[in-house]
A and B are shown apart, each in its own frame.
Chain A
Amino acid sequence: MKIVVCMKPVPSSEARINIASDGRSIDPTDVEMVANPYDEYAVEEALRIKEARGEGEVIVLTVAAEAARSEIRKCLAMGVDRGVIVQDPALLGGDGIGTARVLAAVIRELEPELVLCGKLSIDVESDVVGIALAEYLDWPHVSLATKIEWPDGKMAKVQREIEGGAEIVEVSLPAVVTAEKGLNEPRYASLKGIMAAKRKPIEAVTPSVDAGQVGAAGAGVEIVAMNPPPARGGGKKFEGEIEEVVPQVVELLKSEAKIL
Chain B
Amino acid sequence: MRESIKIAPLYIAMIGVPILMFLFLLSYVFFPYANTILMPLIIAGLLVFGVSGAREVYLQKQKETGIKLNGNLYGKTVTHGGVIKENGAKHVTVKIKRFNIVTRKIEPNIFKIGADKFTTVLDALILIKEKKDKTLSMRYSCRMGICGSCGMVVNGKPVLACETNVLKNAKNDEIEVAPMQGNPILKDLVDDFDDFFEKHQSINPYLYRKNKNEQYAAKEEFRQTQEEIERFLPYSYCIMCGLCMDACPIVNTNPSFIGPQALSQVYRYKSDTRDQKENRIENVDVLEGIWSCEFAGACSKVCPKGVDPATAIQLLKSDAMKNIIKKDE
Report whether chain A binds chain B.
no
